[in-house]
Amino acid sequence: MCCPTEMERKLEKLEEKLKELEDKMKPSVAFSVAAEDGRVAGDLGDNTTLRFNTVMLNVGDAYNLSTGVFTAPVDGLYYFTFFYRTPGGQREKNRSGPILYKNDQELVKISGGQACNDGTESAENAVILQLRADDEVCLAPPGGYVTWAAGRRVTFSGFLLAFCKM
């Protein structure tokens, strides 16, 4: 065929409109939280979820401030990043290393190095995960570790990169 028929042109326009509507229906999901209560969060016990007390962004309300858990609202690819810092003075005692969990499965760890001459440690990590709706993601330090909960130095953020059915 050299020329599209009237029906083919209408079908093409309908497909374009459908794609526009699908793009508008994709949910926006993004969160960024910080520890900012001006203290050292001491030994939380084994695998106790870090609960951040400052919400900087929570588009889509997928991060639960009271539980410290992000719950994926839709199937998709998600990007997560987390940063931490521990106070100086007792470097061995104040070690820290949050672990990122997906549905209670350990996925990503970090361990810090000395950041300054004052003995503080800091580290960060990031990961892209394919999640199903209702999958849960959180951070938890191993038992015996402490986290600095002051000045927004400990943060946890994530967002939906791409919507995809699984």
Q: Tell me: the pLDDT tens digits for 40-98? A: 454 455 557 888 888 999 999 999 998 999 999 999 999 999 988 776 554 455 455 78
Q: 54 in a domain, yes or no?
A: yes
Q: What is the pTM of this model?
A: 0.76
Domain that holds residue 158: 26-163
pLDDT digits (tens, 9 = 90+) for 105-155: 999 887 666 556 666 677 789 999 999 999 999 988 776 666 666 667 788
pLDDT of residue 47: 59
Q: Is residue 14 part of a domain?
A: no
Sorting pLDDT into bands at 50, 70 and 90, what band is 38?
Answer: low
pLDDT above 90 (res 27): no
In a domain, 20, yes or no: no
**pLDDT value of residue 8:** 85
- What is d(CA 34, CA 69) in angstroms, rounded to the nearest whole number? 13
CATH of the domain at 47: 2.60.120.40
Residue 125 lies in a domain: yes
* Residue 41 is assigned to a structural domain of this protein: yes
Contacts of 33 (CB under 8 A, 6+ apart): 52, 54, 55, 56, 58, 63, 65, 155, 156, 157
